[in-house]
Amino acid sequence: MSMKYETVSENRSFGGTQGVYSHQSEATGTKMTFGLFLPEEAQYGRVPVLWYLSGLTCTHENAMTKAGAQEWAAEAGMALVFPDTSPRGEGVADDEAYDLGQGAGFYVDATQDPWKPHFKMWHYVTHELPELVSDNFAIDRDSMGITGHSMGGHGALTIAMTMPERYRSVSAFAPIANPTDSDWGRKQLSAYLGDDDTAWAAHDSTRLMEARGYPGEVLIDQGSSDQFLDLLKPEAMAHAMAKRRQPGQFRMQPGYDHSYFFVQTFMPDHVMWHAEQLAR
């Protein structure tokens, strides 16, 4: 039996439909909201899908309205899924800082109080939401790619390298590339997973690149004028890719910062690149 969901809104977009839907999540124990763009081709059969994971402080709405991805997904005949970044609501643990708690789930399954009852974003993104979407909409779970920005780039890379059989393409925009050696990572991973940093390695894309890499190509774009470079640590990932001789591209884009203007600029490259990878 397919999971129930509610339609929040549906709007015509580039010949397809941009929808927003909500459902009660077993993984998080909360109501969750996600965006889903379906191209016109979804009226006639299942289509490939690109998952977009957003960054700190974001909801499902940020990339859905700011990334400009629907035009290119429509051209490629590809669906887009925009999950939320954390559980939310009354009774859900939070923190005064913007980079921990609600809006900052870091795509991990928390094992520590007060986070562990609800912060199960790894399981939500990789298991529960794909099942709901594929059961109720015309997406092809055998043709899935994943991308994301900042914290979401961290999530996309770690998920794809852990589950390469499920995610046949992966890219990232300005990912938090080495969180076990960054203030955007050590704080959150210790809070969610505990002080034993051996448990953190599975959620560090640089360490995963060093240990296993990715069987396909990897595409990463990073702005050279990003105000958070010291927290993102892109040089660690670039070095790990080079040392492993990982197929793909790490592109340092001159003058670009961390904003959605950066994401918009290179979104066409990423969507079309995923379409090409998934077509192989």
The active-site residue, picked from 54, 226, 270, 274, is 226
Strand, helix or coil at 38? strand
Note whether 109 and 78 are within 8 A (CB).
no
In 3D space, the residue among 145, 84, 170, 154 whose CA is nearest the CA of residue 119 turns out to be: 84
Q: Is 150 a catalytic residue?
A: yes
Q: Is 154 a catalytic residue?
A: no
Name 214's Cβ contacts closer than 8 Å, sequence gap at least 6.
160, 161, 164, 170, 246, 248
Residue type, 245: R
Strand ranges (E), the chain: 6-13, 16-24, 31-38, 47-53, 79-82, 139-148, 169-173, 218-223, 248-253
The active-site residue, picked from 118, 154, 203, 258, is 258
Note whether 222 and 251 are within 8 A (CB).
yes
Q: How far apart are CA 75 and CA 179, in angstroms?
A: 35
The active-site residue, picked from 25, 54, 143, 150, is 150
Q: How far apart are CA 88 and CA 200, in angstroms?
A: 24
In the chain, count H helices and then E strands.
10, 9
Neighbouring CB atoms inside 10 A of 273's CB total 20
Note whether 56 and 82 are within 8 A (CB).
no
Q: Is 190 a catalytic residue?
A: no
Q: Which residues are catalytic?
A: 150, 226, 258
